[in-house]
Amino acid sequence: MDQALVNLENRGLSFLASGPVPPNPIELLESEGFGRMLQSLAEQADLVVLDSPPLLVAADGQILSSRTDGTVLVLEMQRTKGETARQAKELLSRANARLLGLVTNKLRRGPTGYYYCYYHDQKHGESVVE
């Protein structure tokens, strides 16, 4: 694995490219060997970030989320429908994933350059728009 890790000099960052898609990706992600690799990476790094295909497209994200300390759900702001987001959250819940939060990308700014932020405060049971 040390030979496969690419270290970006002076940036404190290393990455491991996925390589070609194996004929049996689900078996690979559920294997003991993959678990050992994740453990080894966790011992070497302060933080290990895994990227996966969209939850509703492939089972990879669900499997990975069940093997990590936390999951961040990424949604495309203008494209992801509410029902799709709910389905993704349900898949994570079924995988016993620890959902840390949500990131939205591709946010379009209005003509004035302002945008709004909407979030739900679970502790106080209220929704806020900024």
What's the pLDDT at 28? Answer: 92
pLDDT averaged over 10-residue windows placed end to end, the chain, 130 residues: 84 86 90 94 91 90 92 84 87 93 78 52 47
pTM for the model stands at 0.72
CA-CA-CA-CA torsion for 41, 67, 105, 17, nearest 10 degrees? 40
Burial status of residue 70 (CB atoms within 10 A of its CB: 0-12, 13-18, 19 or more): exposed
What's the pLDDT at 127? Answer: 44
> What DSSP line would sit under 29-91, residue for residue?
HTSHHHHHHHHHHHHH-S--------TTT-SHHHHHHHTSS-EEEEEETTT--HHHHHHHHHH
AA letter at 116: Y
What's the pLDDT at 123? Answer: 54
What's the pLDDT at 1? Answer: 79
Is the Cβ–Cβ distance between 25 and 52 less than 8 Å?
no
Residue 130 tokens read as: 């900024």
